[in-house]
């Protein structure tokens, strides 16, 4: 009589070899991530994000995305990595530090720290392409794609699932060792790897970010009402005018907003990045409000050459400055 649960010696050997290959590939990935300048690397199984589906659906149905209609597109792709990469088995999540050594003068208009230097999309995408080529050289031909805020993918959910941190009340991915001033990036690939486990939420009873948000965009349920967020108004919202009921509470932010991160206790562990391309033009750090109000198109092009601030364009930055100045 044949016992169904008996594993043949050949199968045992194959399982051991597969495990060894999986461990070797996983170690290679984490080593190369460090060598390429990524602060943290975690890996999770590529599968449907079941917990996120109702949260995303509710967020959209409550119009918390404001005029960002693109958020309504590709609902399935945002939740299922196999829709982005056919046959995908793993999601590699990466964190790249952007916390600056020097910040803007506090008595001037403010720009979010992530936009101080060259646009991160270019810098990180180049690193990811290099990373992918290293993987191909090591593993062989694979089906994979790289992402950094460049496709319908829930980056924070994957980083959380990969054990890189937890999603705080301000919806930022918070790392226990270095806080939240990080860009997130992913490689989705059809290779089985060793998977990391999520960690616990360490926000506890702290409500610093909720209390500090001047437009009440942070809800007590770990949700951001994007339609009330200063970053939404100063970057995403198009048009000539900004709503006066909100601009009076912008606290001098003219591109993005870092308030909920600046007050987060975990960001006391933030350390300056080591990326030369993130270094800002000295004028960005030192300009007074008067100088920002008098900025010309030519000066804008010089200060923000290849910067994320170009997304709002010169006209958008002027609009934001004028709206805040009228409060």
Which amino acids are annotated catalytic?
Answer: 149
Please state the separation of Cα 273 from the chain's center in Å: 16
Burial of 4 by CB count in 10 Å (0-12 exposed, 13-18 middle, 19+ buried)? exposed
Determine contact, residues 164/96, Cβ cutoff 8 Å. Answer: no
Structure tokens at 284: 């960005």
CB 255 within 8 A of CB 318: no
- Which residue reads 């989705």 in tokens? 188
Quick check: 143 and 87 in contact, CB under 8 A?
yes
């Amino acid at each position: 009589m044949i016992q169904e649960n008996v594993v043949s010696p050949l199968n045992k050997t194959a399982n051991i070899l597969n495990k060894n290959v999986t461990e070797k590939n996983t170690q290679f990935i984490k080593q190369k991530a460090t060598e390429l300048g990524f602060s943290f690397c975690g890996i999770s199984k590529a599968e449907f994000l079941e917990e996120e589906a109702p949260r995303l659906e509710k967020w959209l149905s409550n119009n918390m995305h404001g005029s960002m209609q693109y958020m309504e597109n590709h609902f399935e792709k945002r939740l299922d990595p196999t829709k982005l990469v056919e046959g995908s088995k793993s999601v590699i999540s990466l964190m790249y530090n952007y916390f600056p050594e020097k910040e803007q003068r506090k008595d001037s208009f403010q720009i979010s720290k992530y936009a101080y230097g060259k646009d991160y999309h270019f810098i990180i995408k180049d690193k990811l392409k290099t990373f992918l080529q290293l993987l191909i050289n090591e593993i062989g031909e694979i089906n994979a794609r790289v992402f950094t805020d460049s496709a319908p993918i829930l980056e924070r959910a994957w980083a959380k699932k990969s054990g890189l941190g937890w999603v705080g009340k301000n919806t930022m991915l918070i790392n226990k060792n270095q806080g939240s001033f990080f860009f997130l990036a992913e490689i989705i690939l059809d290779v089985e790897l060793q998977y990391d486990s999520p960690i616990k939420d360490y926000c506890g009873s702290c409500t610093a970010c909720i209390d500090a948000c001047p437009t009440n965009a942070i809800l007590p349920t770990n949700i951001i009402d994007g339609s009330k967020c200063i970053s939404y108004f100063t970057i995403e919202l198009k048009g000539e005018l900004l709503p006066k009921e909100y601009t009076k509470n912008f606290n001098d932010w003219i591109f993005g907003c870092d308030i909920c991160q600046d007050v987060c206790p975990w960001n006391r562990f933030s350390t300056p990045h080591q990326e030369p391309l993130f270094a800002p033009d000295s004028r960005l750090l030192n300009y007074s409000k008067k100088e920002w109000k008098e900025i010309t198109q030519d000066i804008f092009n010089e200060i923000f050459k290849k910067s994320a601030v170009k997304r709002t364009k010169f006209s958008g930055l002027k609009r934001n400055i004028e709206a805040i100045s009228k409060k």
